[in-house]
Chains A and B, each alone.
Chain A
Amino acid sequence: GAGVSQSPRYKVAKRGQDVALRCDPISGHVSLFWYQQALGQGPEFLTYFQNEAQLDKSGLPSDRFFAERPEGSVSTLKIQRTQQEDSAVYLCASSFTGMAETQYFGPGTRLLVL
Chain B
Amino acid sequence: DAKTTQPTSMDCAEGRAANLPCNHSTISGNEYVYWYRQIHSQGPQYIIHGLKNNETNEMASLIITEDRKSSTLILPHATLRDTAVYYCIMTIIQGAQKLVFGQGTRLTINP
Number of chain A interface residues as a range = 20 to 34
Is B44 within 8 A of A105, CB to CB?
yes
Q: In angstroms, how far is the closest chain A Cβ from the Cβ of B46?
A: 5
How does the 8 Å CB contact mask read for B90-109 relative to A, with 1 for contact and 0 for none? 01111111111111100000
Main secondary structure of the interface of B (DSSP, over half): loop
Check B43 against A106 for contact (C-beta < 8 Å): yes
Write out, one digit per residue, whether chain A residues 47-91 have a CB within 8 A of any chain B CB (1) or not (0): 010100001100100000000000000000000000000000001
Task: Tell me which of B92, B97, B102, B103 has the highest count of chain A C-beta atoms within 10 A of its own C-beta.
Answer: B97
In-complex Cβ contact of A95 among B45, B49, B96, B100 (8 A)? B96
Q: A42-B101, A93-B43, A107-B42 are in contact. Are A99 and B96 (CB under 8 A)?
A: yes
A residues in contact (CB < 8 Å) with B: 4, 31, 33, 35, 41-45, 48, 50, 55-56, 59, 91, 93, 95, 97-100, 102-108
In the complex, besides A45-B99, A98-B96, A104-B46, 7 extra interface pairs with C-beta distance below 8 angstroms are A42-B103, A56-B98, A91-B44, A100-B92, A102-B49, A103-B99, A107-B41
